[in-house]
Structure 1
Amino acid sequence: MGPIRRLAMVSLHTSPLDQPGTGDAGGMNVYVVELARRLAARDIEVDIFTRATSSSHGLVVEAFPGVAVHHVHAGPFEGLTKHELPAQLCVFARELLRAEAAHPVGHYDALHSHYWLSGQVGALARDRWRVPLVHSMHTMAKVKNAALAQGDLAEPQARLIGEQQVVEAADLLIANTDLEAKQLINLYDAEPGRVEVVYPGVDLEVFTPLEEHARAAARAELDLPPGSSVLLFAGRIQPLKGPDVLLRAVAVLLARRPELRSSLVVPVVGGPSGTGLERPTALTALAAQLGIDDVVRFVPPVGQQQLARWYAAADAVAVPSYNESFGLVAAEAQACGTPVVAAAVGGLTTVVRHEHSGLLVEGHDPEPWAQALLRIVDDEPLRAALRAGAPVQAGQFSWEATADRCLEAYDRARTMMREPA
């Protein structure tokens, strides 16, 4: 076998070109784009196949030199929820196989699918193309269902079955952390020898600490008053991400320390997603109900450059998720030199080093969250120490290292490829 020269990626339910922070676009979108860019920089041609969600999308779009995004027509462009997409798997698979059929036999050297829906299609393509299937779960239904947020819906049985099928079909599974690898083995009976841990990365050129004068300029640009205490939430607004936990904690904090109201700003950067789409104004209503709508500021999703400025301008970034396979927001914020207050769940226990780059909070009760946030607001030496430790912690996560490890995984998968069933 020669080196990997052409790679197919499948990201069925969300396009890597979508703006992260709303709808179904989030950390996985960033992962697919950044990994593809780094692989292309190593002279590997990457074709990303995703479902077309607009008639204005070109059939093939060059995202970056060496990276082509193929918009596959499967079902109506709009109106389909993620739970309705399984009905479109056959059409998507047919069009994927048709696209590959236009090339000589053996066009792709490997296939990397993202999320269980893509894995279902990838399993079929793997058998037809006779190339290894490497799969990344990104999130797992059994893990999510074990720690549901209040008001969230359990993942359906169809997903549980589908994930199990993908685990059994894949030649190699990529886990974001050691904990996720254990979950794949213990909850899905994955073969330990077919699970590789590859940390996702951070663009350390975009997400980087600012000097104090540049940080002050960023605050002015974002209309954040000088001397204010800024507690930021960034991400999709849905129960899984727990933005309500931050708001309830802020209410507790202000009840305890009402004098902070005049200097506290709580930006929420992101848009409704998942079950949050059913009640898109629920968070604004909660802020009003808690009597903190004067300190909470809702900001639509922004691009990476602007997001980096929000991170750098904040005193702390809250990540109160009920589950994270990795926790990209936490890693990006730390890379900007900003302490993170995160729930002690999933990959966040790997990304955040407690008392070094941020604070980990057990559970989602507002009281301990308020205490943790107040520590950062009140304790300037602690805040300075965490600001110094945050970029050091984030520095171990780079997309270059992710690409190198994924390439090793693709090569290993080629030596372990199962015979088609």
Structure 2
Amino acid sequence: MTAATILSRTYPPDVYCGAGVHVTHLAAALAAIAPIELRCFGAQDIAEEGLRVRGIGPLLPPEVDLGSPPGRALDALARCAAMVAAPPEGAVVHAHDWYVLQAGLWAKLLWRRPLVATAHSLEPMRPWKADQLGPGPYALSGHMERTALEAADAVVAVSEAARRDVLRHVRIAPERVHVIHNGVDADVFHPGAGAALAGDLDGLDPARPFVLFVGRLTEQKGLEHLLAAMRHLSADVQLAICAGRADTPALRARYHDAADRLRVERGGVAWIEGLSGAALAPLYARAAVVCCPSVYETFSIVNLEAMACGTPVVAGAVGGNPEQVRTGETGWLVPLVLDAAGAAPADPDGFARDLARALGEALGDPARARALGAAGRRFVEGACAWPTIARRTADLYATLAAQARGSTESFR
């Protein structure tokens, strides 16, 4: 039997978020240990050594608007059903994120497979989605997530902070929640990658210092706070916004317009689209500093990629950021107190000023910034290499499979 069946919404060629990056690298690293089956949304049909990938296409009738929030939630449920119509090949099923957690739950009930669920984020920690999606779809996504997590034989939290969030919001025994970090490919993301950076990326001058933002266009990533912070910095400092997929067209327009306004005010703002994966490494390695102004992060892959490239990080003190970024060690951690809803800084102006102060320190002392960046590189090499993370995940599979068989046979 295949060691595990992984369930994911995204897998190449359609990867747009941290969960998809995680699944892509984890599957490859696990496949080097034992055979892995992966089922995802899409048209994939891939057979590689140790890894079999099958995509599930849309199944709802054409009159359903799959671009609407209700349509996306119902589409996920329909594909979840298709994912488990055939018995999983794996001895264990491992589901990632709310889109496919119900498939994992149904595989546990229908095919009697132990369920591992990775909580890359939690719906209760993203209250802005209630306005973005509407109360009905948001309630449904939360229900899909919560019921599967509560039934899982093991929940993987990607940081200690994420584990605390799971225990606060999900009715689950603490011993069933395990911390296994996100990882980074330190061979792809490395300090020497900056030599490959091409000039004239939307006007970005690689020879001049620049602050780099990499992320999806979503309330969570806090781009507006970085844009506000840049108004407190010298106009000699450039800002490179490497924009990922937007949650909605309205959000994309909002952030793009805000970047345009900043460009008119001070110049030096580059808006870069279409880069992902290894193509980002030259930007990370050439940046003076990478900024993570998010209001919610479990264990940022962007931070890990920046640190692997030897670039210091400025980040808000939320979620798993303090487990990666330590002021005076690997970067600058900026105090961040959220409002009562947990959706935004309680003092947005103060947060922007504090971001600007930390960015100014990084830009004003390049030697210290390089030293902190080098320390970040050592951190990710020691704690966040994918083979290490795959080994820990495989050991968890082995424990659950052995418990299901009533034996102590190891997963090797």
Task: Name the TM-score, length of structure 1 as normaliser.
Answer: 0.83
Show the 5 A alignment for 1:218-367: 218=197, 220=199, 224-225=204-205, 227-253=207-233, 260-261=234-235, 263-274=236-247, 276-290=248-262, 291-292=264-265, 294-363=267-336, 364=348, 365-367=351-353
2:79 to 92, 95, 99: 92
- Taking CA–CA contacts closer than 8 Å with sequence separation of 6 or more, which of the two structures ends up with the larger relative contact order? 1
1:205-242 CA distance string (max 9 Å, x none) = 101112xxx74553658575364111000111122111
Q: Which moved more, 1:161-170 or 1:74-83?
A: 74-83
Q: CA deviation at 1:154?
A: 7.9
Distance 1:149 1:251, change over 3 A: farther
Q: CA deviation at 1:368?
A: 0.7
Distance 1:300 1:226, change over 3 A: closer
Give the corresponding residue for 2:397. 410
Distance 1:227 1:192, change over 3 A: same
Q: Would the aligned equivalents of 1:149 and 1:242 in 2 still touch at CA under 8 Å?
A: no
Q: CA deviation at 1:204?
A: 1.0
1:267-320 CA distance string (max 9 Å, x none) = 11123422x432322122112334447211111131322201110010011111
Letter in 2 for 1:270: A
The 2-side partners of 1:109 and 1:252 are apart by 55
The 2-side partners of 1:152 and 1:321 are apart by 17
Give the corresponding residue for 1:70. 54
Show the 5 A alignment for 1:97-108: 97-100=84-87, 107-108=89-90
The 2-side partners of 1:43 and 1:92 are apart by 26
Asked whether 1:368 is paired with 2:354, we answer yes
1:186-206 CA distance string (max 9 Å, x none) = 221221111111111110110
Q: Over aligned residue pairs, what C-alpha RMSD do you find?
A: 2.7
1:192 to 171, 174, 178: 174
Gaps of 5+ in 2: 337-347, 407-412
- How many residue pairs get aligned? The number is 385
Distance 1:226 1:159, change over 3 A: closer
Give the corresponding residue for 1:36. 27
1:9 to 3, 6, 9: 6
The 2-side partners of 1:15 and 1:76 are apart by 22
Give the corresponding residue for 1:392. 378
1:129-181 CA distance string (max 9 Å, x none) = 22111001211012222xx5998668722233332211221111011011111
Q: CA deviation at 1:15?
A: 2.0
The 1-side partners of 2:134 and 2:386 are apart by 32
Give the corresponding residue for 2:186. 204
Q: Would the aligned equivalents of 2:77 and 2:99 in 1 still touch at CA under 8 Å?
A: no
Give the corresponding residue for 1:103. none
Asked whether 1:119 is paired with 2:119, we answer no
Distance 1:150 1:167, change over 3 A: closer
The 1-side partners of 2:130 and 2:315 are apart by 18
The 2-side partners of 1:380 and 1:89 are apart by 47
Give the corresponding residue for 1:256. none
Q: Would the aligned equivalents of 2:105 and 2:148 in 1 still touch at CA under 8 Å?
A: yes
Give the corresponding residue for 2:152. 170
Letter in 2 for 1:69: V
1:355-386 CA distance string (max 9 Å, x none) = 21111112252111111111111123322321
Letter in 2 for 1:124: W
Distance 1:300 1:382, change over 3 A: same
Gaps of 5+ in 1: 101-105, 254-259
The 2-side partners of 1:332 and 1:236 are apart by 15
Corresponding residue SS for 1:346: coil
Q: Would the aligned equivalents of 2:66 and 2:72 in 1 still touch at CA under 8 Å?
A: no
Q: Would the aligned equivalents of 1:179 and 1:346 in 2 still touch at CA under 8 Å?
A: yes
Letter in 2 for 1:5: T
Letter in 1 for 2:26: L
The 1-side partners of 2:131 and 2:228 are apart by 15
Task: Name the TM-score, length of structure 2 as normaliser.
Answer: 0.85
